[in-house]
Chains A and B, each alone.
Chain A
Amino acid sequence: MGVLVLVSLVLITLSFRAGEDGPLSSVQSTGASVLRPFAVGFERVAQPFRDGYAWADSLLSARSEAERLRVENRELLQRAIQSEFALQENEYLRRLLTYLDSPRFPDDFDPVAAEVIGRPAGAFTQAIVLAAGSSNGVRVNDPVVTADGLVGLVIRVTPDTARVQLLTDEEAAVSAVDLRTSAPGIVRHARGTRETLVLDRVPKQDRVKAGDDVVTAGWRASGLSSLYPKGIPIGKVTSVGQTDTDLYQQVQVDPFVDFGSLDAVLVLVPTERRP
């Protein structure tokens, strides 16, 4: 028993102190590659059950969901026409100005589709493991998205797998803007709940309202730039509060992505890095 505890403590120390370049990292990388086929196999077996559960769950809310989507579809059609007009105008003006911009989503990225094959147990970290790694062009700090919006950031990579820190992790933070008012802030995990986010550091003079969309800011300054390209949807503002003593507003954001049911994601690999 004492030997096993000692071995565990040595593993923790080596893993923690040596980081990505240590000898343990290559052992873990090899181990993850060996275990990957088993994980993919388990995932394939579990998928029909997950789909069945999702199908049964969706039946309960199908009617109200269909009506909501019809209304939303009408609004989006109108907005798409206006956006197309604005896009053409924007492109024309950019050409006139030779405007220098930070990487844009999705134009400057090649997505790598990857299956989610694992999650750490317990409530200590919010992360997922993907069945794609450095052999697929994935690197540390690559953003990860789904069709709904931002999922997180790649924090560890082996040749065949990658670990992604979810936006709901305590240590994750993303510079973001309110789409309607352009009010800047930092999206981070809301304390105490599992899947709620807050838009922090929003100045009081910015009139953020419930229902506003929040997207990544994608800033660039003095040779530095955000890890996330601009314009990735993050979530919708659900409530805004402020007190006289607070310096900033308290903005709660409901994420577009359902972090509890991630089956597959897209890793955004910069186009310039692809062979």
Chain B
Amino acid sequence: MSAGAVLRGSFLVFVAAMLQTVVVSSVVIGGGAPDVLLVVVVSLGLIRGSIPGAIFGFLGGLVVDLMTLDTMGITSLVLTLVGFWAGRYGETTGRDRRFAPVIAVGAITILAGLFGYVLHYMLGEEVVARHALVTALIPACVLNLALALPLHALTRRVVGEDDRTAVSPDVEVLAR
């Protein structure tokens, strides 16, 4: 990744994190709120790969945890895994699929919700499963799906496409 792409990606993640905490979290529709930062991190993972996705996820989570005075590391951990999962999907079966952002955002929103619930439960916080996993998560998933394609297009425009011709260290090239 070029330094310019790293800077643009970091700026995008910062803006998404600030937008999420200041504005979007209070936009509750049908019981749930969209997660702009999660969608942006998924897009970055899909476009730039698993490791950049994980790094951008970690940075975005760190900004949210600092901003909301929450337990440090919780959002970072969830979004690190989100970026990594999205990146792996983009590097393998999701490559070149037109609706990969939609599929990835839908699946990862549910997985991140489940993982977040388990994490908060393990830390001894009282969270009602029905509210966290049904009442709020399903509308949030629908809203994230609606944002998936526009935000993916925006992210692609800001950070640019990765060089797909580069040989992945995990893949053995049998023929050219």
Contacts and interface: CB of A to CB of B under 8 A. Distances in A.
> Most A CB atoms within 10 A — which of B38, B61, B69, B125?
B69
B18 A39 contact: yes
B81 A5 contact: yes
Interface stretch (B2-10, B26-34, B165-173): B26-34
B69 to A, nearest CB: 4
> Most A CB atoms within 10 A — which of B26, B75, B131, B137?
B26
Contacts of B23: 42-43, 46
> Most A CB atoms within 10 A — which of B64, B67, B120?
B67
A35 B126 CA distance: 28
A97 interface: no
Contacts of A262: 26
A1 B131 CA distance: 31
B93 interface: no
A265 to B, nearest CB: 13
A35 B71 contact: no
Contacts of A158: 69
A4 B54 contact: yes
A119 B71 contact: no
B50 interface: yes
A265 B38 CA distance: 29
Interface in A150-190: 156, 158, 161-163, 170-171
Contacts of B65: 11, 28
Give the top 10 A-B pairs by smallest Cβ distance, nearest first. Answer: A11-B73, A123-B136, A8-B77, A31-B66, A12-B73, A119-B25, A170-B126, A15-B72, A163-B69, A118-B21
How many of chain A's residues touch chain B, expressed as a range?
A: 35 or more
B135 A194 contact: yes
A48 B54 CA distance: 35
A96 to B, nearest CB: 47
Nearest to B21: A118
B28 A15 contact: no
A28 B80 contact: no
B143 interface: no
B50 A16 contact: no
B117 A156 contact: no
B55 to A, nearest CB: 7
B176 interface: no
A118 B68 contact: yes
B70 interface: yes
Contacts of A38: 18
B148 interface: no
Contacts of A124: 116-117, 120, 125, 127, 132
Given A42-B19, A120-B25, A14 B72 contact: yes
Given A12-B71, A123-B136, A117 B80 contact: no
Interface of A: 1, 4-5, 7-16, 24, 27-28, 31-32, 35, 38-39, 42-43, 46, 117-125, 127, 129, 156, 158, 161-163, 170-171, 191-194, 260-262
How many of chain B's residues touch chain A, expressed as a range?
A: 35 or more
Contacts of A24: 72
Contacts of A260: 26, 28
Contact of A15 (B50, B71, B120, B128): B71
Nearest to A122: B116
Contacts of A42: 18-19, 22-23
Interface in B46-85: 50-51, 54-55, 58, 61, 63-77, 80-81, 84
Contact of B80 (A4, A171, A192): A4
Contacts of B132: 122-124
A144 B120 CA distance: 25
28 contacts: A1-B51, A1-B54, A4-B54, A4-B76, A4-B80, A5-B81, A8-B77, A9-B73, A11-B76, A24-B72, A32-B66, A35-B18, A39-B67, A42-B19, A118-B25, A119-B68, A120-B64, A121-B21, A121-B25, A122-B113, A124-B127, A124-B132, A125-B125, A127-B70, A129-B68, A163-B70, A171-B126, A191-B128
Contacts of B127: 123-125, 170
